Amino acid sequence: MYSANLFIDGQSIANSSSDRFEVLNPATEEPLGDVPAAGAAEVEASLAAAERGLVVWRDVRPWDRAALLRRIAVLIRERGETIALLLTLEVGKPLAEARAEVNVAAEYFDWCADESRRPLGLLADGRMAGSRYSVTHEPVGVVLALTAWNFPISLASRKLAMALAAGCSVILRPAEEAPACVAELVRCCHDAGLPNGAVNLLFGTPEAIIEPLMAAPTVRKVSFTGSTRVGQILIRQSAQTVKRLTMELGGHAPFIVLEDADIDKAAAAALTGRLRNAGQVCTSPSRFFVHEARLQAFVDRMAEGARATRLGDGRQDGVQMGPLATARQRDRAERLVADARDKGAQIAYGGGRPAQLNRGFFFEPTIITRLSADAAVLTEEPFSPLAAIVPVSGPDEAIARANSLEFGLAAYVFGRSDKSTDYVAARLEAGVIGVNNIAVAVPEMPFGGVKQSGFGREGGPESIKEYLNIKFVHKLSA
């Protein structure tokens, strides 16, 4: 039976002081069930619990923290099929993609288990006799973790693992579209032996949860993954209490195909990246700048691949792309395609709802060419399986087009010449760049954007520093 409860101070809470909300299966448009929404009482209780949990958890020795984080990773893997199925039911992605996401979530806990032991202090003699300098690291405090619906497990795991590795307590608020899979993740954290209050889980509206917690002085750090628009709101809200922030915001990733690129490999990678999770990926390539001499071959390969892609319910064997997560996402795809058509674009494949699927928020893989410069799909993040392909005369034009937006999360370049690909990569304004590949988010490397795609990094050796304060003490002998 489908269910998801709030989790506060080590207790699962099935009823709340606020209304419940319904969760839909995007592949069938049928209700999965309803979930309690947190109200003022639950928000206040979670904050008090997180404050108490911080006092306990911050004093747990790093080696003991590491062992517990590894235990969480073990439980995630043991319960992986349950979590993956809930993820597919709530978001719609194929089970193979859901399983891969669950595995990545476990990898974040494994990686951060090691990182919890690595922030080393400094001890040095001072300038005068009898003086000693010391530098230590301390957890920043209570963390508010806000995650998006497109990767509810991996995004939550990134934030939880890094905050917990640093000794912080967490209040986690996932998107309302995917509560149950995240509730299972939090249960893994609790069952592994975390102290009560170290991780708390709230579902509900931004007004009920985020606004009061952003105003709370004891929430010292906010980690957010979501749209640039919402990120800007949070940045403004954080100013009153001067909170530390990590912001992973929107993207509209350029994919540059140089004249000497292997077109088959470039198109295969482009299609995989574009259709993963039905294009609902912040790093997904969405603006394709292809050398004019290779344009038609690239378009043909993309259209062939899109035509061969099997759509359907993610629980079915052989399905390669599921539905969009919400009707709102499908509406956006339809609006962007209509705008492109109205401005003279050509649809090489797709462009609408698949005729063979009369239920669910499905949209065809869509290849768009001959775009007008003012087509909305070139400036607005599509977050759907739309590929906008534009011819360019060479690398400099491609770089200029790629950098023309205020997005700067991910970018990609394909070509055979190291000199050419290095030239392009060095000039792209993005936080993560794939050269002849699209794997740009792994636990052991830093992930994050520039410009209006945000700031701060998740993953890699730098990640735990986002959750630590640095303290300098100068001691002089009495």
Q: Does residue 1 register a pLDDT over 80?
A: no
Condensed to tens digits (0 to 9), the pLDDT of residues 272-318 reads: 999 999 999 999 999 999 999 999 999 999 999 999 999 999 999 99
Q: Rounded to whole angstroms, how far apart are CA atoms 370 and 170?
A: 48
CA angle, 255 as apex, 254 and 259 as ends, to 5°? 130
Six-digit token pair at 172? 């986690």
Residues 192-219 have a mean pLDDT of 97
Quickly state the pLDDT bin for 138 (edges 50, 70, 90): very high
- Amino acid identity of residue 210, one-letter, is I
**pLDDT for the residue 206:** 95
Q: Rounded to whole angstroms, how far apart are CA atoms 429 and 410?
A: 9
CA angle, 267 as apex, 261 and 268 as ends, to 5°? 120
Query: Of 183, 191, 159, nearest to 71 (Cα)?
Result: 191
Quickly state the pLDDT bin for 15 (edges 50, 70, 90): confident
Q: How far is CA 200 from the centre of its chain?
A: 20
Condensed to tens digits (0 to 9), the pLDDT of residues 348-370 reads: 999 999 999 999 999 999 999 99
**pLDDT for the residue 407:** 97
Q: Give the CATH number of domain 6-249+453-476; options: 3.40.50.300, 3.40.605.10, 3.80.10.10, 3.30.70.3150.
A: 3.40.605.10
Q: Rounded to whole angstroms, how far apart are CA atoms 108 and 187?
A: 17
The set of residues, in sequence order, having a beta carbon less than 8 Å from that of 78 and lying 6+ positions away, is none
Query: Of 277, 384, 282, 374, nearest to 332 (Cα)?
Result: 384
> What is the DSSP code string of 161-199?
HHHHHHT-EEEEE--TT-HHHHHHHHHHHHHTTPPTTSE
- Residues, the chain, total? 478
Residues with a catalytic annotation lie at 248, 282
Residues 134-153 have a mean pLDDT of 97
**pLDDT for the residue 406:** 97
The average confidence (pLDDT) of the chain is: 97
Task: Kindly report the CATH number that applies to the domain delimited by 253-442.
Answer: 3.40.309.10
Domain residue extents for the chain = 6-249+453-476, 253-442
